[in-house]
Amino acid sequence: MADISTPPIMIVLGTRPEIIKMSPVIRACEALSTPYRVIHTGQHYSYAMDRIFFEELELPAPTHNLDVGSALHAVQTGAIMAGVEKVLLDEGSLTAVLVQGDTNTVLGGALAAAKLHKPVGHVEAGLRSFDRTMPEEVNRIVADHISDLLFAPTSRARGYLLREGIEEEKIRVTGNTIVDAVQQNLAIADRRGNALETLGISPKDFFLVTAHRAENVDDPDRLTGILEGLSAVGAEHGREVIFPMHPRTRERLKSFSLEPEGVRIIEPLGFLEFLQLEAKAALVLTDSGGVQEETCILGVPCVTLRENTERPETIDAGSNILAGTDPERIAGAVREQLSRRRIWTNPFGDGHAGERIVRISLERFGRK
Q: Which residues contact 290 (CB under 8 A, 6 or more apart)?
A: 17, 20, 21, 178
Handedness of CA 154, 188, 56, 2 (dihedral sign): negative
Cβ neighbors of 154 (< 8 A, separation 6 or more) are 126, 173, 175, 176, 313, 347, 348, 349
Best CA proximity match to 261, nearest among 291, 231, 239, 233: 231
Alpha-carbon distances, residue 281 vs 201, 204, 278, 295, 300 (angstroms): 10, 5, 5, 9, 7
Report how far residue 334's alpha carbon sits from residue 332's, in angstroms, rounded to the nearest whole number: 5
> How many whole angstroms separate alpha carbon 60 and alpha carbon 180?
18
Output the 3-class SS for 147-159.
CCEEEECCHHHHH
User: 283: which strand partners?
Assistant: 207
* Cα angle, residue 183 at apex, residues 12 and 119 outer, rounded to 5°: 25
Among candidate residues 335, 307, 339, 333, the one with its CA nearest the CA of residue 320? 333
Choice among 145, 212, 237, 246 that is catalytic: 212
Give yes or no: 212 in active site: yes
Residues 311/330, Cβ–Cβ less than 8 Å: no
Which of the residues are catalytic? 212
